[in-house]
Structure 1
Amino acid sequence: MSAPYPGHFHVTKIATAGGKLAGKVCIVTGATRGIGKGIALQLGEAGATVYITGRTLVVTKDSIVGGSLTDTAREVEERGGKCIPVQCDHTKDEEIQQLFDKVKREQEGQLDILVNNAYSAVKAIFDNVDVPFWEFPMDMWDTVNNVGLRNHYLCTIQAAKMMVPRKRGLIVNISSIGGLTYTLNVPYGIGKEACDRMAADCAIELKKHNVAMVSLWPGPVRTERIQFFINESSANNVGNVNVRGMFEVGESIEYAGKAVSYLASDPNIMKKTGKILITAELGSEYGFVDINGREMVSFRNLKELLMLSPKTQWIARLVPRFIYIPKLIFALLGNKF
């Protein structure tokens, strides 16, 4: 299950290379491509030892968008990082357990950062664009929320068992604005809101043990699969969202990685525990930009928010870029009372 890629020696030592995360041990789930890969690259570049998981050890000829554990591990190490690829199917509880047992054994019980990123529903979501929930395939709920929600909870349990005795650690759920208001489809939004609530509630019990847990909202991210969808589809919109326009100015896969890296090295991280954090706002707070030098803009920017919907884009053109929606009012978008 955990065989290293060809030519890679079996790593059991904690990284000692320079960097703000030198000596830290991380797990990033779902890191063969996309946001998970970007996070692994940034954590490794910052000096951490990074365990990455995914189902694809080596890319196959029939892969549409490519990406594998081997590819990610090689790129991390080309940047001077330490990376241990672990082939893991996150629908299987026993493989999740084996993953954490492996880290515990090889790192003498140390785990500093867990990033719950694994997600297996992107293809299913885009295959069912504009399909109402009552016409979805019967297994759509499980496709969206087994790996994307249940697995996050199981991984959080295993991480807490390692972090609590050591009185330190950071757990990050990768979520989205879909946890606040209707986005893409019904199972997607339910799952993302549950990820946010999981972080908030787990943080209450973890706080007294000095372990932080947060929910991270990247902006639109130009992942390999998203780029494939945009290139192959003639549609501009998915539901009420202008997908094409939104992703054309989106984040790189490494921007969220920068956010996690800065969070993990923040000595005051416990002040953020239990909260939803937006990558662009962390960029402003910590002073980092995307890998192409661009400063990203928060969802709370009124102009950006109005641009999400084709119905309000004309208003967005009239709104100055400096106007931000206060967090209290922004939260009302998801008000259910």
Structure 2
Amino acid sequence: MSNHLRNEETPPAHVALVTGASRGVGRGIALSLLASGFRVYGSGRSIEQADLPPEIRRQRCDHLNDDETAGVFDVIRSGSSGLDLLVNCAWGGYEKMVEDGKFTWAAPFWEQPAHRWTGMMDAGVRAAFVCSAQAARMMTPRRRGLIVNISFWAAQRHLGNTIYGIAKAATDKMTSDMAVELQPFGIPVISLYPGLVRTESVLEAAKSGVFDLATSESPEFIGRVINALFHDPNLLARTGQVLVAAAVAKELGIVDVDGTSPPALSLADI
């Protein structure tokens, strides 16, 4: 058989967009999906300076700007046959945690700086909503796809500050309701909780003993879980659910990049 025929029979790569792919969890997801064979688009405000391989298609975007967000999806439309996977990871909630020498992250809601609402609700929840709407317009005609919203346990108990809890609870509710409206098209929507992830900021904080990394996850781990979910034949049965990445990994036989199996944290652990 000729190389030409073999190439024609090779199925096209699935197409994924990871928002907030410049660093942290988003960067790890983008790297992991690329390694799993996806054609990956990564968006973010600083994506052009990100430490990413050239195979990841970088789309500079401030997801607070709807026109810039629409432009990202226009690029995907023009450069591929469709969008198979959206991972909403864009998030501005961890910026400026210390201001004028004061740690404002854990301040009561009446002392929270206004920018934290913008970072969590607008750059986080609203950005995920707008991206999901754009993705749904591409996915519904093909009647396939997957939307993953990265969330956390703050949706279910007070962690850190009130705005954080509002944002994560809103993300999980958004997942649940979007799932209802997309189920007739066979498109699942899930909220996925990471554990303690060895992002750049966590590694820096660990130097001073803030975090115990013994049970932590690599940034690529949750991308491995997303890939496994994407290929799970029973994925639609999970739509609208909140899933803990490490628990899904144990169920589907996924390990971290170093071969370990991170523990699935529970609400009690948090």
> TM-score scaled by structure 1?
0.73
Instruction: Tell me how far 1:142 sits from its aligned partner.
Output: 1.1
Q: More displaced, 196-205 or 136-145? A: 136-145
1:51 correspondence with 2:79: no
One-letter amino acid of the counterpart of residue 73, structure 1: P
Aligned pair count? 260
Q: Secondary structure at the match of 1:220?
A: coil
Q: Residues 222 and 248 of structure 1 are in contact (CA less than 8 Å); yes or no, is this contact kept in structure 2?
A: no
The sequence identity of aligned pairs, in percent, is: 37
- Establish whether residue 118 from structure 1 lines up as the match of residue 94 from structure 2: no
- In 2: Cα distance, 1:169 partner to 1:293 partner: 29
Within 2, Cα distance between the matches of 1:283 and 1:87?
31
Change (3 A) 1:86 1:16: farther
Partner of 1:41: 31
CA distance in 2, matches of 1:28, 1:57: 11
Q: Structure 1 residues 150 and 138, CA, compared in 2 at 3 Å: closer, same or farther?
A: same
- 1:1-337 maps to which residues of 2 (within 5 A)? 23-59=13-49, 68=50, 71-74=51-54, 77=55, 83-108=56-81, 110-125=82-97, 127-231=103-207, 236=210, 244-245=211-212, 247-300=213-266, 305=269, 308=270
Contact 1:17 1:47 (8 Å CA) reproduced? no
- Offset at residue 248 of structure 1 (A): 4.7
**Is the Cα contact below 8 Å between 2:48 and 2:60 reproduced in 1?**
no
Question: 2: distance between equivalents of 1:16 and 1:47?
Answer: 17
Higher relative contact order (CA 8 A, sep 6+): 2
Tell me, yes or no, if the aligned pair for 1:16 and 1:23 is still in contact at 8 Å.
Answer: no
Q: Kindly state the Cα deviation for residue 91 of structure 1 after the two structures are TM-superposed.
A: 0.8
- Partner Cα separation in structure 1 for residue 242 and residue 70 of structure 2: 27
Q: Secondary structure at the match of 1:148?
A: helix
For residues 287 and 142 of structure 1, do their structure 2 counterparts lie closer, same or farther at Cα, with a shift above 3 Å needed? same
Cα distance in 1 for partners of 2:249, 2:194 equals 11
Q: Which amino acid aligns with 2:162?
A: V
* Matched residue type, 1:271: A
| 2:16 counterpart SS class | strand
CA distance in 2, matches of 1:202, 1:162: 15
- Could you tell me which runs of 5 or more consecutive residues in structure 1 were left unpaired when the two chains were aligned: 1-14, 60-67, 78-82, 237-243, 309-337
- Check whether the contact 2:48–2:58 (CA below 8 A) recurs between aligned residues: no
- Judging changes above 3 Å, is the alpha-carbon distance between structure 1 residues 134 and 220 closer, same or farther for their aligned structure 2 residues? same
| Preserved contact between residue 73 and residue 85 of structure 1 (Cα < 8 Å) | no
Normalised to the residue count of structure 2, the TM-score between the two structures is: 0.90
Q: Check 1:215–1:266 CA distance in 2 against 1; reply closer, same or farther (3 A cut).
A: same
| Cα contact 2:191–2:240 (8 A) shared by 1 | yes
Q: Encode CA deviations 1:185-228: one digit per residue, 9 max, x unaligned.
A: 11111100111111110000100001110000011111102222
1:44-92 CA-partner distances (Å, limit 9, x unpaired): 1111100001111443xxxxxxxx1xx2133xx4xxxxx2111111111
Distance in 2 (alpha carbons) for counterparts of 1:90 and 1:193: 20
Contact persistence 1:23–1:49 (CA under 8 A):
yes
Alpha carbons of 1:248 and 1:164: their partners in 2 closer, same or farther (altered >3 Å)? same
Distance apart, 1:105 and its partner CA: 1.5
Residue matched to 2:4: none
> Contact 1:217/1:277 (CA < 8 Å) preserved in 2?
yes
Unaligned stretches of 5+ residues in structure 2: 1-6
Kindly name which structure, 1 or 2, has the bigger radius of gyration based on alpha carbons.
1
* 8 Å Cα contact 1:28/1:50 also seen in 2: yes
Report the Cα distance in structure 1 between the residues aligned to 2:8 and 2:22, rounded to whole angstroms: 25
Contact between 1:203 and 1:273, CA under 8 Å: does it hold in 2? yes
What's the offset of the Cα at 1:17? 11
Shift of 1:124: 3.1
